[in-house]
Structure 1
Amino acid sequence: MESWHGTTIIGVRKNNKAVIAGDGQVSLQSTVIKPNARKVRRLGDGKVIGGFAGATADAFTLFERLERKLEQYHGALMRSAVELAKDWRTDKYLRNLEAMMIVADKDITLILTGNGDVLEPAGGVAAIGSGGNFALAAATALFDYEDDAETVARKAMKIAADICVYTNDQLTVETIEDAA
Structure 2
Amino acid sequence: MFKATTIVAVKNENKVAMAGDGQVTFGESAIIKNTAKKIRKIYNDSVLIGFAGSVADAFTLSEKFEEKLEQSNGNIKKAAIELASHWRSDKILRRLEALMIVANKDALLIISGNGEVIEPDDGVAAIGSGGMYALAAARALRRNTNLQPEEIVKEALKVASEICVYTNDNIVVETL
Q: TM-score, normalised by structure 1?
A: 0.93
2:5 is aligned with what amino acid?
T
Q: Are the counterparts in 1 of residues 24 and 34 from structure 2 also a CA contact under 8 Å?
A: yes
- The equivalent residue for 2:24 is 26
Q: 5 Å matches for 1:28-177?
A: 28=26, 29-144=28-143, 145-176=145-176
Quote how far apart the aligned CAs of 1:93 are.
Answer: 0.9
Quote how far apart the aligned CAs of 1:14 are.
Answer: 2.1
- Other structure's SS at 1:162 match: helix
Over the matched positions of the two proteins, sequence identity in percent amounts to 53
State the alpha-carbon separation in 2 of the partners of residues 69 and 42 from structure 1: 15
Quote how far apart the aligned CAs of 1:57 are.
Answer: 1.0
Give 5+ residue unaligned stretches, structure 2.
none
- The equivalent residue for 1:16 is 14
State the alpha-carbon separation in 1 of the partners of residues 4 and 65 from structure 2: 23
Residues 23-48 of structure 1: per-residue CA shift (max 9 Å, x gap):
00011211111000000011212111
Q: How many residues align?
A: 174
State the alpha-carbon separation in 1 of the partners of residues 171 and 68 from structure 2: 27
Quote how far apart the aligned CAs of 1:146 are.
Answer: 2.8
Moved over 3 A (4+): none
Q: Are the counterparts in 1 of residues 141 and 147 from structure 2 also a CA contact under 8 Å?
A: no
Give 5+ residue unaligned stretches, structure 1.
none
Q: Are the counterparts in 2 of residues 15 and 149 from structure 1 also a CA contact under 8 Å?
A: no
